[in-house]
């Protein structure tokens, strides 16, 4: 019997929004509002650099809670970096384990050239995994 599994690419959201690391947090907020997303991938400076992730909770914790101006804070100051990246063809069972181990709610999915392919959330993977394994 051939074992089939659900790949991260089958669960991920493919609408990845990116932002420049020097952009202001205000620009990030406006992009999130305009595109309806709650996280933005922060672009790399070069091939030796890693991607970052700007999430609504970063803005809440580092800007709003500390009463800093979103116009005076750059994305790179509050983003999470490096962001955990997952291979698009990874089994979601292992992806779930990684996110749980690092206490993360989401990860960046990359293709074979390490380019952003999507974002995946722990919630979406858990719901899909339990759906796939109803009869076990």
Domains of the chain, with CATH numbers?
8-132 (3.10.580.10)
Measured distance CA(11)–CA(99) in Å, rounded: 15
Burial of 26 (0-12, 13-18, 19+ CB in 10 A): middle
- Statement: residue 2 has pLDDT above 90: no
- pTM for the whole thing? 0.86
**Does residue 4 carry a pLDDT above 70?**
yes
pLDDT per residue over 79-129, tens digit each? 999 999 999 999 999 999 999 999 999 999 999 988 999 999 999 999 998
């Amino acid at each position: 019997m051939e074992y089939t599994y659900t790949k991260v690419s089958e669960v991920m959201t493919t609408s990845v929004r990116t932002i420049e690391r020097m952009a202001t947090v205000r620009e990030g907020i406006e992009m999130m509002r305009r595109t309806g997303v709650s996280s933005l991938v922060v672009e790399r400076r070069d091939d030796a650099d890693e991607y970052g992730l700007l999430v609504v909770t970063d803005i809440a914790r580092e800007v709003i809670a500390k009463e800093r101006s979103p116009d005076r804070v750059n994305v790179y100051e509050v983003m999470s970096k490096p962001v955990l990246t997952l291979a698009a063809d990874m089994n979601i069972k292992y992806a779930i384990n990684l996110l749980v181990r690092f206490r993360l709610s989401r990860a960046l999915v990359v293709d074979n050239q390490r380019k952003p392919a999507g974002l995946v959330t722990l919630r979406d993977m858990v719901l899909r995994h339990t759906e796939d394994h109803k009869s076990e």
